[in-house]
Amino acid sequence: MKQALVLFVAFLLTGCATQNITAKGPEETKVDKEKVVSGSFEETWDRIVSRLSGSFFVINNIEKDSGIINVSFSADDATRFINCGTMEITTSGNARTFEVASDFVSPLVYRQGIYKFTGETRRDGNLDGRMNIYVKEKGKGSSLVKVNARYVFKSTERLYDAAGRHQKTVSEEVTFQTGSPGSLRKTKCVSNGSLERRVFKMASE
């Protein structure tokens, strides 16, 4: 009888837990992939290489004769450089909105038999990638700079039960380029243009 009473109380406390998740994709943002800057090829090239060396970029390869520089980058806070939209999680009438590319903790409603419980989801995002930078003399005193980044975003969700015990880990990875979206479950990811603008600023006087 005592055990039945405990189960009945648990049902009253957790049986009404509900959860609804709504994903909203990122707004379309035009990202420039090229820009004409002041300065000869030599001046522009030297500016870019010098400033890249002092930045968070890692230079992988330099081919001055071809005007190409290949760099790597990474960021724990992916929202600085990409936009994967938002996720609204409504748990028992309480709604919270998170950026999909960010790190966040949210409630998790799960079922065991006929009972529902509320645990927790801990989501971590990590961004890595490479970028090609192309420099070409445009005319007298100006140069054309083109950029194309390849983004690799990995999302890892760790699921915990109501007692805080780890139950499952779910990982998802998406790859996309400057100007082209990549699919991530119910949404998509795009560059927000920040990384590309950073290189154009390095190339400018």
Q: pLDDT, tens digit, for every residue of 144-154?
A: 999 999 999 99
pTM: 0.86
Choose among 156, 153, 155: nearest CA to 127.
153
Residue 3 lies in a domain: no
The range of the structural domain enclosing residue 187 comes to 19-203
CA dihedral 12, 113, 107, 19 (to 10 degrees): -80
Residue 10 within a domain: no
Tally of domains in the chain: 1
pLDDT at 184 over 90: no
* Domain assignment of residue 183, yes or no: yes
Confidence (pLDDT) at 15? 53
- Residue 169 covered by a domain: yes
